[in-house]
Amino acid sequence: MTSKVTYNGELRTTCEHVRSGNTFITDAPVDNNGLGQAFSPTDTVATGLGSCMVTMMGIKAKGLGIKLDGSTVEIKKHMAAGPRRISKIEAKLILPSDVSEKDRKILEHTAMTCPVHYSLHPDIEKVITFHWEL
């Protein structure tokens, strides 16, 4: 088992990573009857894309002898109705400027081939930008 999700009532869940015991909560968003006091389930999906991209880049960067510490990914999720779903995810990666052009291309390709990117439905528009400015 990977994780366990417990419904707490009031449109809130506790999500537990079984192996580590780490937890986080989700809350329904305000535009869908919730309080919006934590990540919504769709927020976690969109955020998972950014986390996966920068993690895969980190794995590749380590092999290239590059440090990506302090890099960030800014995520913006867009929702659609009929049925309610994620329609678009924008990810802005902000990365160190002291990376060669060759290594930037390798790392960008690595990000675009992360497992979450491949797992998202093709109808979800993904707008990915890389800013080598840290």
| Mean pLDDT score of the chain | 97
Q: What integer pLDDT is reported at residue 95 of this predicted model?
A: 98
Q: What is the pLDDT of residues 82-109, one digit of tens each?
A: 999 999 999 999 999 999 999 999 999 9
> 17: Cβ–Cβ under 8 A, 6 or more apart, which residues?
2, 3, 23
Asked if residue 57 and residue 26 are part of one domain, the reply reads: no
Q: What is the pLDDT of residues 4-14, one digit of tens each?
A: 999 999 999 99
Q: What is the pLDDT of residues 42-71, one digit of tens each?
A: 999 999 999 999 999 999 999 999 999 999
CATH number at residue 100: 3.30.300.20
pTM tops 0.75:
yes
Asked if residue 56 and residue 18 are part of one domain, the reply reads: no
Domain region containing 116: 41-132
Asked if residue 76 and residue 127 are part of one domain, the reply reads: yes
Which helix (H) or strand (E) element contains residue 50?
Answer: helix 41-64
Asked if residue 115 and residue 80 are part of one domain, the reply reads: yes
Q: How far apart are CA 112 and CA 92, in angstroms?
A: 12
pLDDT of 134 above 90: no
Asked if residue 69 and residue 14 are part of one domain, the reply reads: no
Asked if residue 111 and residue 85 are part of one domain, the reply reads: yes
Q: Please give the sequence-ordered ranges of beta strands (E in DSSP) within 10-122, or none if there are none.
A: 12-17, 23-27, 72-80, 85-95
Q: Provide the number of structural domains found in the chain.
A: 2
Asked if residue 97 and residue 45 are part of one domain, the reply reads: yes
Asked if residue 28 and residue 80 are part of one domain, the reply reads: no
Asked if residue 113 and residue 57 are part of one domain, the reply reads: yes
Q: What is the pLDDT of residues 19-40, one digit of tens each?
A: 999 999 999 999 999 999 999 9
Asked if residue 81 and residue 21 are part of one domain, the reply reads: no
Sheet holding 85-95, edge to edge: 72-80, 85-95, 125-132
